[in-house]
Amino acid sequence: MTEKKEIILKGIAAAPGIAIGKAYVFKKELPSVELRALDESEVAGELERLDHALAKSEKELNKILVFAEQKVGEAKAKIFEAQVMVLQDAYLLGAIRKRIREEKKNVEYVVSDEIQKYANLMHAASNEYMHERAHEIEDLKNRIVRNLQQQKLLSKLDGSPIVIAHTLTPADTMILSRNNILAYGTDVGGVTSHAALISRALKIPAVVGAGSLGLTVATGDMLILDGYSGNIIVHPTEERIIEYQRKREHFSAFEAQLAVLKDFPAITLDGKSVELSANIELTEEIDYVVLQGSQGVGLYRTETLLLGRDDVPSEEEQYREYKIIADRIYPQRVIMRTFDVGGDKLIPDMAEEKNPFLGWRGIRMMLDYPEFFKTQLRAMLRASGKNNVAVMFPMISNVQEVRKAMACFNEAKNELRARGVRFDENIQVGVMIEVPAAALMSGIIAQEVKFLSIGSNDLTQYMLAVDRGNHFVSDLYHELEPSVLHTIKFVIENGHRKNVWVGVCGEMASNPLAVPVLVGLGVDELSVVPSMLPEIKKIIRSLHYAECQRLAQTVLHFSTVSEVEECLRDYVHQHCPDIPLAGNNNVI
Ligand code: PEP
Ligand code: MG
């Protein structure tokens, strides 16, 4: 028998970890629905069948909801609450019942047709968030139809498979995770997709947006899924499997070894301290971050609070979430970033943009909705009672935006004062430097704030004009491009000249190759992916600041990214031989 050729598919790394195992291709057979005309005498029976299927669907969803609350926490589980609410929507159910009675069509057909209308409206929007919602509505529709047809949906899997699917709804991810799933891989979806968020919360490695898995992978195929680099290797060779087994073992042995560093500071061998904090998206991540001995949260992406809902969380609701994080991380600090909506993240339906990354995003949107903005600012201020909260504005591109945002912040403070509510009067405010224009003006911007945090993800995409989520140009996306490094150096120097501290909170801070240069450039804080905390600490503790300064100078003389990477690879290999390094394009 000839060996099948190894294929490497590139997707988006959505949840870290390496899985080696057999594929299970999860195909949800869509229930087929045919139109059937009813006799008058059948109408009552059809309505009864409808009630029965609705009740069953609600029961199933409530079960998933309870399971989700236990596994991923209340905030994330809200996705399922939203589905239950659609299921109970009086207007929708009224329309379905009316059509069965008046049009005398069978219940499967009417349910399907009526709910699909909503889904189609959402599909017509041009943003990923609404498409996700459309899939969820379709999922709900299929659940009801399946229950009408009394079909059973597969939820028990044999063995420990890597689940491959075109797309996974949050419900699929939850239900399947009751089995021993090694990893998830999907054709579509982004890092912010609900399935990706749930995978991360469940600590199951995941790669999303890998394109054409369905065409390439069959159930039983051997796979390697690398949730660090976003690679899925189909029919890996023996050597490849051994290579990845080693890497996986290396990762776990290394992780165990790193665990002892938890209570040690992130300090170089010659005594330069770097504040090492973590990026979080979900409240549930905070326990892990505390457990890892993080020096704080350098970036809390609050926009995840808006996931899976059409309304805006109230001040009270936001305050509760922020307070949990502030209390849990105390006495360390949490930097709360105001909603960074738009771009590849959540996009309101009203915004149909040709170039969302260059569009209505982050602070731009908040400044257009000052009341919405101030609600969030008040909630953050209220959570600052223990003096360990800082606030940060995303997507700043000019100094006027900083001033306008600060004006809103001051109004929010005054509103709280008028209500007699106490907050930290010395609360620090900073901005993200992630737009080249802001980087160039960072000296002026620094005069308005207490800190600058470099968002290397967006800074790289805007500097290089390379869409950070577009796989057609992913080989051009390099945060170690000399142009990006020069810009970072410029921002750090500008910040220090104005006596404000400068951090990096993009993924670059979690890249072992980048750490020695960032340290050498004098960065004050690195905010990293929580799972990378121990590793980055280990690197910092293996470096000499003075040597890193020389390294940074050397690297800044190179003209190509390959030269930079080669030099840094040698350096890190020499100084921290245990650290697993990503290759080009983050391929481990
Ligand atoms: C960044 O752009 O580097 C950043 C940290 O923000 P986000 O990834 O949330 O856009
Ligand atoms: Mg950003």
CB atoms within 10 A of CB 146: 21
Residue type (1 letter), 44: A
**Atom 6 (ligand 1): residue with closest C-alpha?**
455
- CB of 535 closer than 6 angstroms to any ligand 1 atom: no
Q: What pLDDT is recorded for position 306? A: 83
Ligand 1 centre to CA of 231 (Å) is 22
**Domains defined along the chain, listed by start:** 7-25+160-253 (3.50.30.10), 40-148 (1.10.274.10), 261-575 (3.20.20.60)
Q: What pLDDT is recorded for position 30? A: 72
First to last CA, the chain: 30
Minimum-distance ligand 1 atom for the alpha carbon of 455: 3
Q: What pLDDT is recorded for position 263? A: 86
Dihedral (Cα; 264, 270, 272, 278), 10-degree rounding: -40
Query: What is residue 301's DSSP assignment?
Result: E
Residue type (1 letter), 547: E
Pick the closest to residue 38 from 110, 90, 95, 94 (CA basis).
110
The span from the CA of 246 to the CA of 248, in Å, is 5
> Where do we find the tokens 């042995």?
253
**Atom 10 (ligand 1): residue with closest C-alpha?**
458
What six digits make up the tokens of 382? 């209220």
- CB of 281 closer than 6 angstroms to any ligand 1 atom: no
Pick the closest to residue 159 from 227, 223, 220 (CA basis).
220
Within its chain, how far is the Cα of 286 from the centroid? 15
- What DSSP string describes 7-37? EEEE-EEEE--EEEEEEEE---PPPP----B
Reduce the secondary structure of 395-436 to three states and give it as a string.
CCCCHHHHHHHHHHHHHHHHHHHHHCCCCCCCCEEEEEECCH
- CB of 187 closer than 6 angstroms to any ligand 1 atom: no
Ligand 1 centre to CA of 392 (Å) is 12
Ligand 1 centre to CA of 506 (Å) is 5
Q: What pLDDT is recorded for position 580? A: 66
- CB of 340 closer than 6 angstroms to any ligand 1 atom: yes
Contact between residue 318 and residue 326 where contact means Cβ atoms under 8 Å apart: no
Pick the closest to residue 339 from 368, 251, 355 (CA basis).
368
- What DSSP string describes 172-204? HHHHHTTS---EEEESS--TTSHHHHHHHHHT-
Q: What pLDDT is recorded for position 266? A: 95
CB atoms within 10 A of CB 152: 7
Residue type (1 letter), 354: K
Positions of the chain with pLDDT lower than 70, given as ranges: 1-2, 29, 71-76, 126-129, 151-156, 190-195, 197, 308-310, 344-351, 469, 471, 580-588
Annotated active-site residue 505? The verdict is yes
Q: What pLDDT is recorded for position 128? A: 62
**Atom 9 (ligand 1): residue with closest C-alpha?**
301
- Residue 348 CB partners (closer than 8 Å, separation 6+): 341
Within its chain, how far is the Cα of 136 from the centroid? 18
Cα–Cα–Cα angle for 16, 330, 200, rounded to 5 degrees? 15
Q: What pLDDT is recorded for position 583? A: 42
